[in-house]
Amino acid sequence: MTDPATIEKLRPKLDPFYRTVESVLIGQRKLVDALLIGLLTDGHVLLEGVPGLAKTLAVRTVASALDLKFSRIQFTPDLLPADVIGTQIYNPRTGEFTVKQGPVFANVVLADEINRAPAKVQSALLEAMAERQVTIGESTLRVPRPFFVLATQNPIEQEGTYPLPEAQVDRFMLKVVIDYPSRADELAVLDRMGGLGASADVAPALAAADLEELRQAADSVYVDPKVKGYLLDVIRATRKPADYGLDMAGLIQLGASTRAAISLLRAAKAHAFLVGRGYVTPEDVKMVTPDVLRHRLVISFEAEAEDLRPEALVKQVLDRLPVP
């Protein structure tokens, strides 16, 4: 368990990061929190929203605010797997093949518009995300640590998009849906970014050594057995809702996996750390559950016919399950 004194000492180290990022991203505190949760838990984050809502800007700003190596991959229909992970190049002088590493070999990787490329290209990221390594020919190479994939995508209904493979979707700890800003926030964006000289460049605000220290502290946040049991009930209720008195028969085709339970636990601990607590409460679990589960639930055709989305079903679970 992280003692209160440690929380009090370490938590302020995030303040310069918040100030730096929010100097560019206006009214996006929830998004910044989600990206930080991913960083603190060694998890990857998927951002979804229509074009023009600053998804790419958000990722670039977070990467710039960190003292880490950054790379960007623009996913397009003609992209090849070798463009992501790298390839072997023949050297006629030596008669040997050498490995040319791709842009995936960085600490923070921006996979921009990931669902614009076919499944075989999307899957090129899977090994790196899951195993922290990449295989090129007969060579297996480790990616740098920390390794953080931030992917952006447009809604599936948009023209020219390809659904992500289920195995890859499950590798993202969080999926954050970005909506249109409020009128006041949008007006502030116009005031700040409407001129020709406006810039989104920021200086590093969090050193790599500090980030690792914060990650260790977040990982040691205490979880009471009752809260852990509540968290597990949330997961299991998506598989067998009738066992928990939920009238959701036939709406969920595939519930949350054990990996989802692990992700929910880690995210809840990181959320508690962000608000300055050394222990997890049921409210922490409730706050992060939608982002952890929305991309992991497979809803039935019946639910789609009723225009129900995974978020609505998750809300039903959270509203009706008793809180310890």
pLDDT tens digits, residue range 170-218?
A: 889 999 998 888 899 889 888 877 655 555 678 888 888 888 889 999 9
Pair 124, 74 in one domain: yes
Written as six digits, the tokens of 236 are 């299991």
Q: Which domain holds residue 268?
A: 221-320
Q: What is the pLDDT averaged over residues 302-307?
A: 80
Report the CATH number at residue 176.
3.40.50.300
Phi, psi of 99 (to 5 degrees): -90, 125
Number of domains in the chain: 2
Whether the Cβ atoms of residue 62 and residue 148 lie closer than 8 Å to each other: no
Instruction: Pick the closest to residue 247 from 319, 297, 309, 298 (CA basis).
Output: 319
What's the whole-model pTM score?
A: 0.89
Q: Which residues contact 179 (CB under 8 A, 6 or more apart)?
A: 49, 53
Question: pLDDT class for 282, splitting at 50, 70, 90?
Answer: very high
Q: Which of 77, 41, 80, 74 lies closest to 55 in space, CA to CA?
A: 74
Are 184 and 299 within one domain?
no
Q: Domain check: are 148 and 28 in the same one?
A: yes
Burial class of residue 12 in the structure, from the number of CB atoms within 10 Å of its CB (0-12 exposed, 13-18 middle, 19+ buried): exposed
